């Protein structure tokens, strides 16, 4: 795969501001483990190889178990995810594959049994962020692993 353009170089101020926004989410109400699961699952759905590669490596570095990452595509059938994680994954899928009729009351009610209003709001911003990153990296075919050394992802030892 060949990268089309380097959006980070072409729009440095927009990139910087969006990166600041994304980094601000780390101090939100959603714990790191769920943030990793959400980023990986949305990236799987959106077919973003760059983001999937990056977030799998980040998750490994932060101690995520490999089998849970392998089970993300089948999280509904897997026994490896807690109810709170399941709620976050359901919300991620609903917002990533936004149905024509919007998010159903059923999905919303199930998620609200596991997350507070603040947590649900912060989770929504998490999902918005990863979907935007997916779109820019898919559009410009950012090469998976191309930022590993700069972002310390080579420490995952997954190459």
- What pTM was estimated for this model as a whole? 0.95
Q: Residue 106: CB partners within 8 Å, gap ≥ 6?
A: none
Are the C-beta atoms of 111 and 120 separated by less than 8 Å?
yes
Distant-in-sequence, close-in-space partners of 34: CB < 8 Å, separation ≥ 6? 84, 85, 88, 123
Compute the average pLDDT of residues 10-26.
Answer: 97
Among residues of the chain, what percentage have pLDDT more than 90? Answer: 97
Give the pLDDT score at 1: 81
What is the CATH code for 12-156?
1.20.1290.10
141: CB partners within 8 A, 6+ apart: 1, 2, 3, 4
Q: What is the mean pLDDT of the chain?
A: 96
Domain residue spans in the chain? 12-156
Instruction: Report the alpha-carbon distance of residue 91 to residue 1 in Å, rounded.
Output: 31
What's the N-to-C CA distance of the chain in angstroms?
A: 17
Asked whether the beta carbons of 64 and 158 are under 8 A apart, the reply is no
Task: Report pLDDT digits (tens) over 26-83.
Answer: 999 999 999 999 999 999 999 999 999 999 999 999 999 999 999 999 999 999 999 9
């Amino acid at each position: 795969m060949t990268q089309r353009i380097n959006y980070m170089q072409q729009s440095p101020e927009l990139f910087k501001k969006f990166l600041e926004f994304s980094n601000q989410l780390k101090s939100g109400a959603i714990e790191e483990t769920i943030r990793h699961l959400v980023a990986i699952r949305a990236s799987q759905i959106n077919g973003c190889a760059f983001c999937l590669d990056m977030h799998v490596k980040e998750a490994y570095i932060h101690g995520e178990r490999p089998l849970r990452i392998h089970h993300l595509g089948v999280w509904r059938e897997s026994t490896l995810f807690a109810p709170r994680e399941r709620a976050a994954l359901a919300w991620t899928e609903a917002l990533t594959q936004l149905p024509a009729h919007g998010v159903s009351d059923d999905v919303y009610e199930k998620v609200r049994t596991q997350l507070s209003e603040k947590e649900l709001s912060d989770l929504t911003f998490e999902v918005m962020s990863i979907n935007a990153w997916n779109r820019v990296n898919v559009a410009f075919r950012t090469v998976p692993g191309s930022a590993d050394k700069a972002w310390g992802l080579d420490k995952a030892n997954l190459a």
